Structure 1
Amino acid sequence: MSQTVLPVAEGRHVGRYVVSLAKRYPRMVWGSAALHVAAALAALAAPRLLGDLVESVEKGTTVAAVDRTVLLLAGFLLLQTVLTRYARYLSFVTGERVLAELREDFVENTLALPVGTVESAGSGDLLTRTSRDVEQLGWSVRWALPEWLIAVITAVLTFAAALLVGWWVAIPCLLGVPPLVVGLRWYLARAKDGYLRESASYSVMNASLTETVEGARTVEALGLGPARRARIDRDISGSYHAERYTLFLRTVFFPSVEVAYLIPTVATLLFGGWLYTQGSVSLGDVTAATLYVQMLIDPVDRIVSILDELQVGAASLARLLGVAQVPDDRVATGREPQDERIDAEDVRFSYVDGRDVLHGVDLDVGVGERIAMVGPSGAGKSTLGRLLAGIHPPRTGSVTVGGVGLTELPLTDLRGHVALVTQEHHVFVGTLRDNLALALPEDAEIDDEVLLRALDAVDAREWVEELPEGLDTVVGSGGRALSPPQAQQLALARLVLADPHTLVLDEATSLIDPRAARHLERSLAAVLEGRTVIAIAHRLFSAHDADRVAVVEDGVITELGSHDELVEREGSYAALWKSWQA
């Protein structure tokens, strides 16, 4: 199966999403902005007061006048402190709420991904987006964005206050613009791609590490250790070069903009001093203007510095939003199935363009019928089973339930008709009760007796009741470890609770020993009475008990009939049956 690369959202999509988030909290956004403006205005009083104080001292003043100025300075400083405190508090609260919305949207989009896309993309990319990208975005939303907005508001108001001193202040300020603009244009043209490449390198590295850890026994058995280490070394080298590039951008950009900070301050002092000698401005004006321009350095420096953090956050947000841009593999038409009959007509399917693994398969499954699919490994049994469960849409042909295409049904409706159970089962962190209740509707009342009956149906009630805490036993990561057979029984109990009409069982009892599996399947038979069952298995006793057996070879159904009919034909199935009994 070819590797799928999850998309990354474009800049305009990121911008629209940020605006939509801000619109969800208008009062908090505008309230924090108003408080920041008020705090910045309070801070602007100091340079003007100091300028007036210098001018009054030059002309002669009294101690009382100086004391009044000092008290005013202290008052404005206190006011600025109080306003800043509440402005930051409101900004951080808004940031936390926005971050919670972002996380919920990401989880919702991730859970809505087509299963085929998740499998072909691998765990590394999604793991990196879920962990590293969310963490980096959290830092940007909690700290970088509020601080950047504060800096922008402060810089704009400070510059406006400087211009109120006199139009001439704009001239030295404009001298710092060219190096700042050149530096920003150079940096921004390269930063986004650089940070996206850096995040992508972590995805590749995580994918290699995950594959190596999950397949550790295979790696050890086949002596693949050196090859896996070499691959991981290459991935780490790629990540190193990606991070080195973004570090290079910062080491060039930040020193260059330092020049843009110094030029206006020095120029204001020199130009203002010259104007003072010419009698065009007062000493108080020169003092106030110099202090205002000096005050500009801090917010402008924060704007530029935090811009780097925002680039990282924007790259992470683009990767998180990209998950929502994966094309859906199903389009709900609103049509309702007439019955529970499953039909596959001329079904062809490929994981890689131009290489079909199913070649014109036709299969009709009656309501309540039990079909067993057998055949050699790689013949296409599991792929056909996934199409019959609505996991993948066929490349050509159709797979329908009650005359409606499986990919025309919303997932919530589809799982009420067809459910797939494989040999791979996940035990979620929580109690056994929580794990079982996942199969119930959200508004359903959890009845322990119902859960225990489901466990009883899969021969799991006995070992669950023997646990010290029974259904309250915490399982999953950090809890009690369940054996593979127990995890499989838990998944089958969920299936009993979900109560779909059609079941596709892909090696669903493979982790249980043959004798126990035989007993389990007989126990399940009573529970599944009246339901349609499509069982994919290598253990041919499942085929012996089925109404019909479909033999899949090289992507086509070569034989179809009851166990006895196929044995009498002495074809592929008869050969399999004889070899299995030997």
Structure 2
Amino acid sequence: MEAGPIEAARIEAGRIEAGPMETGRIEIRHLGFAYRPDQPVLSDINLTIAPGEHVAVIGESGAGKSTLAKLIAGTLSSSSGEVAVGARPGTRGPAVVLVSQDIHTFSGSLADDVTMGAPASTVDDQLAALARDALDRVGADWATDLSMVVGRLGTALSPAQAQQVALARVLVADPAIVILDEATAEAGSAGARMLDRAADQAIAGRTALVIAHRLSQAAHAARIVVMARDRIAEVGTPDELLARDGEFTRLWRAWQAER
């Protein structure tokens, strides 16, 4: 993916400013967030993610992983510090797409649900082709009828099928940055393997931040961010972190003991 100067959305203590950045770059400086002043969820988070880099975020429940994901995606505003993300120049689509384990299926045809993030100028024939290609790439072999009505007024999708639709939406929206917040957590072991392959399709060629609920997911990332007690405890490659015998090693040993 080619990076170039753009006008980035810079979210600083609830204020949006503009600034030049490379496409797909994420810069986080002294980021803090709290629902109450005396109960910080995140404190002084500093992290830079290069265009096209795949980074996993791990940590115990309550460490602030999902909050970090929402701050980068812009669905929360920070209490302090700043987050900046680089979108593609000349596009109106989202710079960042966040996929969580809580997926909403919209009432309408499957094709409409998958292509809701397509450019407004896209014609019907193109939408159908985009939907078909995206569903094929995420392995949704059950999706044989694009006119099938889904959502509250139609066919109820399984959690794994709904996640495939969400990941297909990513392919159609074509953002520079994808955040997966435990996006394969709802599937069983066989379903998780299928969704992991679908997730790999969604993040290929993009900057990706993966909030991992299984350490096996983190092991394939270029870097791992380990969070503990509202802060970043460690950052490094899997091999570097294991060699340090720190927080990551403790989590890795606990995960191995549970297998």
TM-score, length of structure 1 as denominator length: 0.39
Quickly say closer, same or farther: Cα 1:444–1:450, change in 2 above 3 A.
same
The equivalent of 1:163 in structure 2 is none
Partners of 1:534 and 1:520 in 2: CA distance: 16
The equivalent of 1:398 in structure 2 is 82
Q: Secondary structure at the match of 1:349?
A: strand
Q: 2:37 aligns with which of 336, 353, 357?
A: 353
Partners of 2:15 and 2:148 in 1: CA distance: 38
The equivalent of 1:532 in structure 2 is 207
Residue 418 (structure 1) aligned with residue 96 (structure 2): yes
Residue 571 (structure 1) aligned with residue 255 (structure 2): no
Residue 368 (structure 1) aligned with residue 52 (structure 2): yes
5 Å matches for 1:194-209?
none
Q: Secondary structure at the match of 2:55?
A: strand
Q: Secondary structure at the match of 2:123?
A: coil
Residue 476 (structure 1) aligned with residue 160 (structure 2): no
The alpha carbon displacement at 1:371 in A equals 0.6
The two structures, once aligned, show a CA RMSD in angstroms of 2.0
Q: Secondary structure at the match of 2:209?
A: strand
Structure number having the greater strand percentage: 2
The equivalent of 2:5 in structure 1 is none
Query: Does the 8 A contact of 1:473 with 1:480 survive in 2?
Result: yes
The alpha carbon displacement at 1:442 in A equals 1.6
Aligned residue identity for 1:541: S
The alpha carbon displacement at 1:356 in A equals 1.6
Partners of 1:330 and 1:455 in 2: CA distance: 37
Which one has more relative contact order, counting CA pairs under 8 Å at least 6 apart? 2
The equivalent of 1:430 in structure 2 is 108
Partners of 1:440 and 1:383 in 2: CA distance: 27
Q: Secondary structure at the match of 2:129?
A: helix
The alpha carbon displacement at 1:557 in A equals 0.5
Aligned residue identity for 2:59: G
Quickly say closer, same or farther: Cα 1:427–1:479, change in 2 above 3 A.
same
Q: Secondary structure at the match of 2:142?
A: helix
Residue 488 (structure 1) aligned with residue 170 (structure 2): no
Partners of 1:439 and 1:445 in 2: CA distance: 13
Partners of 1:499 and 1:482 in 2: CA distance: 24
CA-to-aligned-CA distance 1:21-52 (integer Å, 9 cap, x gap) = xxxxxxxxxxxxxxxxxxxxxxxxxxxxxxxx
Query: Does the 8 A contact of 1:509 with 1:517 survive in 2?
Result: yes
Larger Rg: 1
Q: Secondary structure at the match of 1:472?
A: coil
Residue 452 (structure 1) aligned with residue 132 (structure 2): yes
Partners of 2:214 and 2:184 in 1: CA distance: 10
The equivalent of 1:385 in structure 2 is 69
Aligned residue identity for 1:343: E
Query: Does the 8 A contact of 2:69 with 2:179 survive in 1?
Result: yes
Query: Does the 8 A contact of 1:348 with 1:396 survive in 2?
Result: yes
Quickly say closer, same or farther: Cα 1:432–1:526, change in 2 above 3 A.
closer
Unmatched tracts of structure 1, length 5 or more: 1-328, 405-411
Residue 439 (structure 1) aligned with residue 123 (structure 2): no
Aligned residue identity for 2:135: L
The equivalent of 2:10 in structure 1 is none
Query: Does the 8 A contact of 1:457 with 1:524 survive in 2?
Result: no
Q: Secondary structure at the match of 1:379?
A: coil
CA-to-aligned-CA distance 1:402-438 (integer Å, 9 cap, x gap) = 4x9xxxxxxx95x532111111111111111111121
Q: 2:235 aligns with which of 540, 548, 560?
A: 560
The alpha carbon displacement at 1:340 in A equals 2.5
TM-score, length of structure 2 as denominator length: 0.85
Partners of 1:338 and 1:548 in 2: CA distance: 20
The equivalent of 2:8 in structure 1 is none
Partners of 2:214 and 2:23 in 1: CA distance: 31
Partners of 2:19 and 2:83 in 1: CA distance: 15
The equivalent of 1:581 in structure 2 is 256
Quickly say closer, same or farther: Cα 1:515–1:580, change in 2 above 3 A.
farther
The equivalent of 1:518 in structure 2 is 193
The equivalent of 1:463 in structure 2 is 142
Partners of 1:522 and 1:483 in 2: CA distance: 17
Partners of 1:359 and 1:568 in 2: CA distance: 26
The alpha carbon displacement at 1:526 in A equals 4.3
The equivalent of 2:218 in structure 1 is 543
Quickly say closer, same or farther: Cα 1:350–1:527, change in 2 above 3 A.
closer
Partners of 1:338 and 1:565 in 2: CA distance: 27
Partners of 2:189 and 2:59 in 1: CA distance: 19
The alpha carbon displacement at 1:393 in A equals 2.3
Partners of 1:555 and 1:387 in 2: CA distance: 14
